[in-house]
Chain A
Amino acid sequence: MSTDLVLLAVLMFLVTYPTRALGLLTPGLDRLPKVAFDYLQLVGPAVLAALAAVSVMVVVGDDDVPSFHVGIEWVAVFVCLVIVARRRNLFLGLVAAVALVVIAREAGLAALPT
């Protein structure tokens, strides 16, 4: 059984824990420049959107060349987005996205990923 990624988890912990602990353990850290807080507030949406967009819009072929992809995944992700925005229920959004993809693939309307 592979344990290679345990070291990665430890390294991820080493960059995560300080952000959780510094505010609690270091008095006055909440007085960072406002622009720093503003930037931190925007990082989450940007990174997550980047991950989602690349996951559904970019595929890498056997030749290692990235190409633009259009498919049912776009619709599924959009449905999830709408449900989370309206219902604030991520799990419901995920269930709807998965159900849509399964139905589309079973009905032959979308291809299985290669």
Chain B
Amino acid sequence: MRRDLRQDLPALNEAVATDTQISRRQLATDAIGIGVSAVGFGFVYGLSAREAGFSIVEAMAMSTIVFAGAAQFAAVGYVASGLAWPGIILLTALLNARHLLYSAALAPWLREVPFARRAAMAHLLTDEAFALAISHFRRIGRTDQRGYWIGAFVATFIPWNLATMAGVVLGAQIADPARLGIDIIFPAAMIGLAVGLITGRRELVAAIVGGVVAVGVALATSPSIGIVTGGIVGPLVGLLVPASLAKETAPLGSLESADRFFMPDSHVTPVPDPPRDASGDEAPG
């Protein structure tokens, strides 16, 4: 018997709608937290960019065109340290390469979305957008495009850009930024972001080696060369940690890694991993 004809069960489309609405409420709750974080962090980025000599047009261009918080912060540091553009672009490519893991993880869920729309979605794929989207999709067991836009555009892109503008504009009013400790924001933000990406011993080793090598090479040559060298050598040494000792708890692109973007105990993930088809892909729905 068709489910929607039975008296004792809700109609299937009604159940689907209810399921989606409940998950969207959770998504909205999570999105508020992410949005607040984006506002605070975007504001700090604006202050740092201003401090490094970026004009408002340049800072906003970074936030709208690049739209990648860690890479934008890093670019502020690169520009301030006088790193040549090819070096900045190389490091940006390395730093943002992790997005490949996110897009690969989301691909099975968005397979049915029209190509042009997927291309637009890709520009907004950040750590936070991934975290919100993958959690939402797995809760409801299928794709919800509106849910993706809520997480990627409403909760992240808009607050990030408005806060960037506010940071640059208000930063111009601060006469002595060092007195307010603004110079510490950049390294503190970098280490905080690094901590968020450390999900096992390999990442820990890569971070420690990256930092040590960077400082050593920077002292021997220049800060910019040190940063590039540390960023390349650190992961190579991290790979030497045997998989059996890695204790990986939340590989990037997994639901566990998505959960790391939410405040402790604020987020519930009720749906287990989705089934996989014969090729090993996740099978949405």
Contacts and interface: CB of A to CB of B under 8 A. Distances in A.
- Name which of B68, B119, B214, B252 has the most chain A CB atoms within 10 A of its CB: B214
A88 B65 contact: no
Nearest to B243: A38
Interface string B226-239: 11011111111011
Contacts, number: 337
Given A12-B62, A24-B122, A54-B226, A19 B210 contact: no
A77 B185 CA distance: 9
Contacts of B92: 12, 15-16
B239 A38 contact: yes
B75 A88 contact: no
A29 interface: yes
B236 to A, nearest CB: 8
Interface string A38-60: 11111111111111111111101
A40 B182 CA distance: 31
A16 B260 contact: no
B189 A30 contact: no
A35 B103 CA distance: 18
Interface SS of A by simple majority = helix
Nearest to A73: B184
B197 A45 contact: yes
Given A47-B227, A50-B234, A54-B215, A40 B58 contact: no
Contacts of B75: 8, 12
A46 B187 contact: no
Contacts of A62: none
B132 interface: no
A40 B186 contact: no
B61 to A, nearest CB: 4
A41 B179 contact: no
Contact of B194 (A22, A29, A52, A60): A52
Interface stretch (B4-12, B21-29, B154-162, B216-224): B216-224
B102 interface: yes
Which of under 10, 10 to 19, 20 to 34, or 35 or more describes the interface residues of B? 35 or more
Contact of B58 (A9, A20, A22, A66): A9
B98 A50 contact: no
A105 B89 CA distance: 36
A47 B210 contact: yes
A58 to B, nearest CB: 5
Contacts of B262: 88
Contact of A20 (B122, B196, B213): B122
Contact of A50 (B58, B122, B231): B231
Nearest to B186: A55
B222 A66 contact: yes
A5 B226 contact: no
B271 interface: no
Interface of B: 36-37, 40-41, 44, 53-58, 61-62, 65-66, 68, 70-71, 74-75, 77, 79, 81, 85, 88-89, 91-107, 110-111, 115, 118-119, 121-123, 125, 178-198, 202-204, 206-215, 218-219, 221-223, 226-227, 229-236, 238-239, 251-252, 260-264, 281
Given A43-B95, A46-B232, 10 more contacts: A5-B54, A6-B65, A19-B103, A23-B106, A43-B94, A45-B210, A46-B234, A55-B187, A105-B178, A112-B178
